[in-house]
Each structure stands twice: as C-alpha cells, then as structure tokens.
A and B are shown apart, each in its own frame.
Chain A
Amino acid sequence: RKEVEQDPGPFNVPEGATVAFNCTYSNSASQSFFWYRQDCRKEPKLLMSVYSSGNEDGRFTAQLNRASQYISLLIRDSKLSDSATYLCVVTLGFKTIFGAGTRLFVKA
C-alpha cells in the first residue's frame, strides 16, 4: 500500500463547477498535511496547509480527518487557471511524502 494515495484523475469539469479531491495516508503518526499545485512541466508550489479544523483560502477549502486518515481539497467556482495537478503531501518526522497527484482540467 502506498503511504499517500490519490485518485490520479483526470477530473474534467466545466468552468464554475465545484470539484473535490481526496487523499488517504497510511501512517496514523503523520504530523503535517499540505496541498501543492503543479502546473504542466513546472515545479510544485505550496497551495495550502491542511488543519483538523479545516481551512479556507478564497475558493479553496482543505479538510483533514485524522480518524479516517484522509485529506480533502474542495475547489469552488472552478476557473480555467485551476487546471493543474494537485499533490497531497504528508510529513512524518523529517520525512516528506508526496502523493502522485490528481490532474484537473477545467474547460470553458
């Protein structure tokens, strides 16, 4: 079983749609959780941190469920510019584990 698993997609959605990504992690001792965004052929960049209380940044909402060991990312009112791969990231001590990513295509 992979340490961090994501649905690879791709998710194809129209502009304005709401889309949700899930990520599961295998080690219950994992400490910190993040979503990174990676545009095609570009480097990953931090999108947002994920907290148990949930956190929101504009159209993006991230949630952590420690009991079920999953993380979610919700994107509301999708824009063409949201098209990218979204990487789930989990840390365990000094170890940082990246999921393989979920691809999103937003269509006009």
Chain B
Amino acid sequence: DADVTQTPRNRITKTGKRIMLECSQTKGHDRMYWYRQDPGLGLRLIYYSFDVKDINKGEISDGYSVSRQAQAKFSLSLESAIPNQTALYFCATSESSGGAFYNEQFFGPGTRLTVL
C-alpha cells in the first residue's frame, strides 16, 4: 500500500464550485505539504503544516485553504474554483527535525484537477 495517498486522483469541476482534495499518510511524519505543478513552472508550494496545530502559507496560497485534521490527514480546499487553478496537485510529507535541516519529501501520486 502507498505511504501517501491522495483522493480523488482526477477531478473535473466547474468554475465557482467548492472542491476538496484529501491527503493521507501512513509514514508517521509530522510535516505535510501541498504543491501544484504547472508545465514550465515546476512545483510551487501552496500550504505547509509542521504539526497538527501549525499551518503556514506557501508562495501561492490565494484562493486555497487547508485543514490538518490529524497527523495523518491534510486537506486542500478550493472555495470557489477558477480555470487557472487547473493543475496537477501533489501532497507531500517529511520527517520533522530541529532548525532548517531538510528532510526528504515523499509525494503522493497527485490529483489532476480541471476547472472548466
């Protein structure tokens, strides 16, 4: 079984609809992340959470919100979807550590979202 799972894997929705993307992990990691990937732009961080009570905005958080329901679950919501939010969305997890030391990020399989 995959350590990091995302649901749904594919979603087509209409402009103005609310949509939630879910991420679950069995790795026991404290840190979780949401990214979007667009052609030619690479992965861009939307939100990240270093533990259940910690939520931080990334570089492109406008139009998105998140909820960290438990250590293992981190959801991303689009309150009112718009076409330029069409992208591939990845959830990732990593171990926590003190300071700024980086730990390897483990990614889910991605959710392909299309907003018409």
Chain A residues with CB under 8 Å of chain B are: 4, 8, 31-32, 34, 41-46, 87, 91, 93-96, 98-101
Within 8 Å CB of A93, what residues of B? Answer: 100
CB distance from A8 to the nearest CB of B (A): 7
Judged by a CB distance under 8 angstroms, whether B104 is at the interface is yes
Q: A87 CA to B48 CA in the complex, in Å? A: 20
CB distance from A26 to the nearest CB of B (A): 14
Within 8 Å CB of B90, what residues of A? Answer: 43-44
Q: Contacts A31-B102, A93-B100, A96-B102 given: A87-B107 contact, CB under 8 Å?
A: no
Q: A94 CA to B97 CA in the complex, in Å? A: 11
Within 8 Å CB of B107, what residues of A? Answer: 43-45
Residues B40 and A32 in contact, CB atoms below 8 Å apart: no
CB distance from B34 to the nearest CB of A (A): 13
Q: Which residue of B has the minimal Cβ distance to A33?
A: B102
Residues A100 and B42 in contact, CB atoms below 8 Å apart: yes
